[in-house]
Amino acid sequence: MDDKAYWVGFNLVRGIGAVRLKNLLDHFGNLETAWNSPPEGLISAGLPSRVVENFMVIRKQVNLDAIIAKADTSGVKIITWNDDTYPRRLKEIAQPPPVLFVRGSINVEDDWAVSVVGTRRVTPYGRQVAGEIAKFLAQNGVTLVSGLARGVDAIAHQSALQAGGRTFAVLGSGVDVIYPPEHRKLADEIIRQGAVISDYPLGTQPESTNFPPRNRIIAGLSLATIVVEAGETSGALITAEFAAEQGRDVFAVPGSILAPQSEGTNKLIEDGARPLVRMTEILDVLRLEQIPEKQLTRKTILTSPEEKKLLDQLNQEPRHIDEICQLSGLPIQTVSATLTMMELKGLVTQVGGMNYVAAREPKGSYKV
């Protein structure tokens, strides 16, 4: 059986998220062994008894081979933490989703992504601004991320597509359940020029409780989040909060103090978000004017499997060369020489004491 089947299986179990799945991997070494473990083995791995009971029911009911087959026939890719195609930005956040279901493609250039979110009850002003922002991002090689919702989200997706750009739609349902239903054609267009993404299993319906967690993925995929219009209780504000918690920049478009749709964005600015008054500020703050050069470098600069292996072990937390050796399984001489070359290429930075971090754009300081 495909190893991914076990990832998908555990993804079906209520109560098993990123932390508990990692504990299972650490305890059993692989998810196949964990899946076939008796209840007492799962309890010894740290799962609460109620979660083990949930698991036993799921294990008895589901046909993992059938789920994988359905994904294959539906053109759905299953991506896990272990895959090279797992989005780099998303992997940097605390407790990234262990499994992603993807229709479309996730490419190297999608490392440079910005989310544009906002109210469903968009004003003519918000409609114009959302469209202009999305067009500007697409024309500058930035992948646009949003949630396929009515209003600002749909406008942003459509404008990015019309400008020939790439865009991701993150759903609060399975990727085979498009919501709202009138956006099915839009979703098909997005799949051709980007991806429809979800961490929810196939067939999951769009329940209201699904949407706040998916906003965490929208923020996690992005270098920054731009809120165009949002009321005081808009879900877009949840995305902004997640972005801030993840250390990403948050921009808010100023609006009329008389417009309910601007109450949320104006409050974000009052609390410290960057007011977006010129499109070029996005490029300036995130240094996105260097994207074409960075994309070419990323595509050509990883000249050996060793470089790829070492980069996979690095993020923004300093990691000592000895730990890098242990994690990569490469000898110290190879690691030392490869890190030196990667540092010259600008892929890694030594931060003292033979500790290294992956090079990336500066993070924002805004906190909600």
CATH code, domain carrying 25: 1.10.150
* pLDDT given at position 314: 86
CB atoms within 10 A of CB 222: 30
Q: Three-state SS for 180?
A: coil
- Is residue 160 a part of any domain in this protein? yes
Most confident of 130-134, 229-233, 314-318, 325-329: 130-134
**pLDDT higher than threshold 70 for residue 115:** yes
In whole angstroms, how far apart are CA 166 and each of 43, 194, 266?
Answer: 44, 5, 29
pLDDT of residue 362: 36
Alpha carbons within 13 A on the beta-carbon side of 14: 4
Q: Where residue 282 falls among pLDDT bands split at 50, 70, 90?
A: confident
Are 11 and 130 in a shared domain?
Answer: no
Integer Cα distance of 128 and 156 in angstroms: 10
CATH number at residue 108: 3.40.50.450
* Tokens, residue 317: 């937390």
Contact between 324 and 313 under an 8 Å Cβ cutoff? The reply is yes
pTM: 0.79
- One domain for residues 136 and 284: yes
Is pLDDT of 368 > 70? no
Dihedral pair phi/psi, residue 330, rounded to 5°: -100, 150
Residue in the structure block whose two tokens are 């242990």? 326
Q: 136, 150, 321, 119: which is closest to 231 by C-alpha? A: 119
Q: How far is CA 68 from CA 65, 76, 87, 201, 259, in A?
A: 5, 9, 21, 11, 48
Please tell me the predicted confidence (pLDDT) of residue 307.
Answer: 86
What does the pLDDT average to over 41-64?
A: 95
Neighbours of 195 (CB within 10 A): 26
pLDDT of 249 over the 60 cut: yes
Confidence of residue 25 (pLDDT cuts 50, 70, 90): very high
Per-residue pLDDT tens over the stretch 296-354: 455 455 567 888 888 888 876 789 999 999 888 899 989 998 998 887 777 888 877 88
**Do 163 and 236 belong together in one domain?**
yes
Listed residues 290, 317, 343: the one ending a domain: 290
Domain with 11 in it: 1-73
Q: Residue 128 falls within a domain, yes or no?
A: yes
Q: How confident is the model at residue 81 (pLDDT cuts 50, 70, 90)?
A: very high
Among residues 290, 318, 334, which one ends one of the domains?
290
Q: Fill in the DSSP letter of residue 364.
A: P
Predicted local confidence at residue 232, as pLDDT = 86
Residues 63 and 154 in one domain: no
Distance CA 100, CA 174 (A): 10
For the chain, what is the mean pLDDT? Answer: 89
60-65: long-range pairs with CB below 8 Å, 24+: 62/9, 62/12, 64/1, 64/5, 64/6, 64/8, 64/9, 65/1, 65/5
Phi, psi of 356 (to 5 degrees): -125, 150
Residues 29 and 176 in one domain: no
In a domain, 95, yes or no: no
Q: Which residue has the tokens 């809120």?
A: 227
Rounded to an integer, the average pLDDT of 124-131 is 95
Any domain includes 35: yes
Is the domain of 186 the same as that of 211? yes
Output the pLDDT for position 361. 44
How far apart are alpha carbons 51 and 43 in whole angstroms?
A: 9
Does one domain contain both 276 and 332?
no
In a domain, 366, yes or no: no
Between residues 165 and 341, which one has the greater pLDDT? 165
Residue 289 pLDDT exceeds 90: no
Do 37 and 171 have their domain in common? Answer: no
